[in-house]
Amino acid sequence: MVELLTVLLNVKDFFEDPSFLIGIPFVALGALGVLIALTPVELRWPQPAPAQPEYEILDHVEGDHPDAREYIKIGVVLAVITAVEVAVYYLDIADGALLAILLTLSAAKFVLVVLWFMHLKFDNRLLSIAFGSGMALVTALLIVVLSTLGAGLV
Amino acid sequence: MWLFLASETLFFGGLIGTYLLYRDASVAPPCATDCTFDGVTYQGLYDIPFTSVSAFVLLMSSVTMVLALAAIQRNDRRGLQIWLAATALLGITFLAGQAFEFTEFYHEGLALNTNLFGTTFFVLTGFHGAHVSVGVLILLALWIMARRGRITNENALNVELAGLYWHFVDIVWIVIFTLVYLIQ
């Protein structure tokens, strides 16, 4: 216990050892979580109007969903992007450029499906925040792990 | 549902990261792409044209899924049944393709415990296949409910939630197809 206290109170060593620094963002995140948990401010969750049917709660908050014709148009765009991806794979392009092109095309497909087919573009912003948080965490995880442990994509 | 999907992104993110990390770390054949061990060159296992068709099938199943939702939103119950059945069939086609790919790889000498490529590849794509299987079961259950007239535009939220899960499974494959198969 005394040793633990000594380590915790020895701020100088803490900041001189780079391996400790990586913990700072996590400590900050944890502190933020505790603050949010203890805050007396009430979070504003979407409140459905009493007369609304259940289906309307998540839908039509920001606007109407597209119609079938629009979905088919997006489906055609997705098919074309996939065809371009496969075509690019067979072209003789430098590795770095190939990586950039494929990641861009893949991200475009991802965004189209999430915004239009999953209706995130039209639904309550709170849902975007929920999914966006997961995406931000996983992106940070992949960047940190792949860059520090040397999994070169190129 | 969105919080569940957010947690699923972390689950698949971990598996994709592990695959990328150990992609070229196998010390024994076979490999994803052409590789050489002890002076012997082994042909890569990936069949890009075949996987491209699988990716296309799953992508199109997202289109049929969203058309099922659009159908029930305008209270078209017949349309709902047709598009749900089409989505489930496309999902089953994708699973059949994955079963074929796994069998082919196994016959080429790749098992779960052969090398790091085998372990990370089968765990990642296997878990995705398991998610697709669960999705197909949900779709079939919805299709049976729709045939019995138990889904109307009043409770179309059930179709929307199933659709969210199905589209998520599709976007995971969009990422896997690019990061695992195309970028080598």
**Domain residue ranges of chain A, discontinuous segments joined by +:** 2-38, 66-121, 123-154
- pLDDT over 60 at A106, yes or no: yes
| Residue A154 confidence (pLDDT) | 43
Amino acid identity at A19 = S
Q: Is residue B66 part of a domain?
A: yes
| HSE toward the beta carbon, residue B60, CA cutoff 13 A | 16
How far is the alpha carbon of B2 from chain A, nearest alpha carbon, in Å? 6
How close does chain A come to B122, measured CA to CA in Å?
19
Length reported for chain A:
154
- The model's confidence at residue A94, banded by pLDDT at 50, 70 and 90, is confident
Residue A58: which pLDDT band, with cuts at 50, 70 and 90?
low
Does the pLDDT at position A61 exceed 50?
no
Task: Extract the tokens encoding B6.
Answer: 């957010």
Cβ(A134)–Cβ(B9) under 8 Å? yes
In this complex, the residue of A68, A110, A149 whose CB is nearest that of residue B171 is A110
**Can you say whether the dihedral through the CA atoms of B10, B16, B19, B20 is positive or negative?**
negative
Find the CATH number of the domain harbouring B123: 1.20.120.80
- State mean pLDDT over B57-79: 94
pLDDT digits (tens, 9 = 90+) for B138-153: 999 999 999 999 998 8
| Burial of A49 from C-beta contacts in 10 A (0-12 / 13-18 / 19+) | exposed
State how far residue B162 is from chain A, nearest Cα, in angstroms.
11
Q: Are B21 and A151 an interchain contact pair (Cβ–Cβ within 8 Å)?
A: yes
Domain residue limits at B84 = 2-17+47-182
Which of residues 139 through 158 in chain B touch A, CB cutoff 8 A? 153-157
3-state helix, strand, coil in chain A (%, to 5): 70, 0, 30
Look up residue A116 and give its DSSP letter.
I
Q: What is the mean pLDDT of residues A78-105?
A: 92
Confidence of residue A60 (pLDDT cuts 50, 70, 90): very low
Phi first, then psi: give them for residue A91, nearest 5 degrees.
-80, 155
Q: How many helices (H) and strands (E) does chain A have?
A: 7, 0
Distance CA B88, CA A94 (A): 39
Residue A66 has pLDDT above 90, yes or no: no
| Number of compact structural domains in chain B | 1
**Closest CA relative to residue B176, chosen from A106, A15, A145:** A106
Considering only CB atoms, which chain A residues are within 8 Å of B76? none
N-term to C-term CA, chain B: 34
Tell whether the torsion through CA atoms of B26, B29, B33 and B34 is positive or negative: positive
Judge whether B48 is closer than 8 Å to chain A, CB to CB. yes
In a domain, B135, yes or no: yes
Whether pLDDT at A115 is above 50:
yes
Amino acid identity, position A83: A
Residue of A nearest to B70 (CA): A68
Nearest CB to B154; choose among A55, A72, A151: A55
Of A114 and B24, the one with more pLDDT? A114
**Angstrom distance (rounded) from CA B74 to CA B127:** 35
Residues of A in contact with B4 (CB under 8 A): none
Element housing B3 (H / E): helix B2-21
Contact by Cβ (8 Å): B143, B81: yes
Q: How many angstroms separate the CA of residue B164 from the nearest CA in chain A?
A: 6
How large is the average pLDDT for residues A56-77? 74
- Tell me what pLDDT residue A153 has: 55
**pLDDT over 70 at A39, yes or no:** no
Residues 80-139, chain B, touching A (beta carbon < 8 A): none
In the prediction, which pLDDT does A146 show?
A: 83
Residue A47 above 80 pLDDT?
Answer: no
**What ipTM goes with this model?**
0.91
